[in-house]
Amino acid sequence: MVELTEYLVKSLVKDPDTVSVKQFDDGEDIVTIQVLVNKNDMGAVIGKGGVVANAIRTIVQASSYMNHEAKVKIDIDAF
């Protein structure tokens, strides 16, 4: 799921080299993916009203479900 998340986010930002995506296991059925982007790219990743961020979450969660993997939670932060 990290690769998919990274691909989606990097395709949205102006400087894809600054994007950092890491995975953390919170429990046996939940995986947290932390996305760090440049503060200048934060608007492109979040979108108006959070539409883009919700779309990213939906795509990654659907892919996880289709592959019978753990539930995914995505946190998007700026540095």
Q: What is the pLDDT of residues 5-63, one digit of tens each?
A: 999 999 999 999 999 999 998 777 899 999 999 999 999 999 999 999 999 999 999 99
Query: What pLDDT sits at residue 47?
Result: 95
Q: How far is CA 30 from CA 23, 33, 58, 64, 69, in A?
A: 11, 10, 15, 11, 9
Task: Report the number of distinct structural domains present in the chain.
Answer: 1
CATH classification at residue 41: 3.30.300.20
Query: What pLDDT sits at residue 28?
Result: 76
Q: How far is CA 61 from CA 22, 28, 33, in A?
A: 16, 16, 11
pTM beyond 0.75, yes or no: yes
Q: How far apart are CA 68 and CA 63, in angstroms?
A: 9
Res. 64: pLDDT tops 90: yes
Give the domain extent around 13.
Answer: 2-78
